């Protein structure tokens, strides 16, 4: 992600520096949710990805190179303390815009290769899912090899994130 510009309505900010930090943190957490933090189960039904030791969370190399946060002016909430609004949770879903930007980029790649522009992409949009969705010569060869090796297995996208 090269750049993200976020505009957040926090009402009358009590402390803009803290509010901007909350927006940045929640957006980063959302990046993890929509692009990295895959839920994986073992065959026995036990959750494999029980913590950050078993799945990737965003680090300094995963956040936008340029992250701009602007707080809206003059949007008070007269029913709240000091006209404030929620700031910690709403920006989490702003990261959904990154997921849809990735999906749009995949769509463009598919069209340029002559593939159908409509496809499924489940969150999180991991590097593996992105590569497979782009459908290039290597992913097609790998898919064919796996089908021949494990004919009884369903495609990964049809299973419920079960590790073989």
Residue 74 confidence (pLDDT) = 78
DSSP designation for 60: T
User: What is the band of 163 on the pLDDT scale with cuts at 50, 70, 90?
Assistant: low
Taking the alpha carbons at both ends of the chain, their separation in whole angstroms is 32
d(CA 156, CA 93): 26
pLDDT at 155 over 70: no
Domains of the chain: which residue ranges?
3-95, 99-158
Residue 102 confidence (pLDDT) = 97
Known catalytic membership, residue 144: no
Active-site pick, 38, 66, 89, 144: 89
SS3 sequence of 98-123: HHHHHHHHHHHHHHHCCCCCCCCCCC
The encoded tokens of residue 130 equal 């992105």
Q: pLDDT tens across 26-78, in order? A: 999 999 999 999 999 998 989 999 988 888 889 999 999 999 999 998 787 77
Give the fold, CATH level 3, of 3-95. Aldehyde Oxidoreductase; domain 4 (3.30.365)
Residue 70 CB burial class (10 angstroms; 0-12, 13-18, ≥19): exposed
Residue 84 confidence (pLDDT) = 75
Q: Which spans in the chain are helix H?
A: 16-35, 96-112, 127-134, 137-149
Question: Cβ atoms within 10 A of the Cβ of 123, count?
Answer: 15
């Amino acid at each position: 992600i090269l750049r993200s510009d976020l505009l957040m309505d926090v009402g009358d900010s009590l402390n803009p520096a803290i509010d901007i930090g909350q927006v940045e943190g929640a957006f980063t957490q959302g990046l993890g949710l929509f692009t990295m933090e895959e839920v994986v189960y073992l065959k026995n039904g036990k959750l494999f990805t029980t913590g950050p030791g078993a799945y990737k969370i965003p680090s300094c190399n995963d956040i936008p190179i340029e992250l701009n946060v602007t707080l809206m002016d003059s949007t008070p909430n007269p029913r709240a303390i000091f006209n404030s609004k929620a700031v910690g949770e709403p920006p989490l879903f702003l990261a959904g815009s990154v997921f849809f930007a990735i999906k749009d980029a995949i769509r463009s790649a598919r069209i340029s290769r002559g593939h159908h522009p409509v496809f499924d992409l489940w969150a999180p949009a991991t590097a593996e899912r992105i590569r497979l969705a782009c459908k290039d010569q290597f992913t097609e060869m790998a898919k064919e090899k796996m089908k021949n090796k494990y004919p009884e297995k369903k495609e990964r996208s049809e299973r419920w994130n079960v590790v073989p």
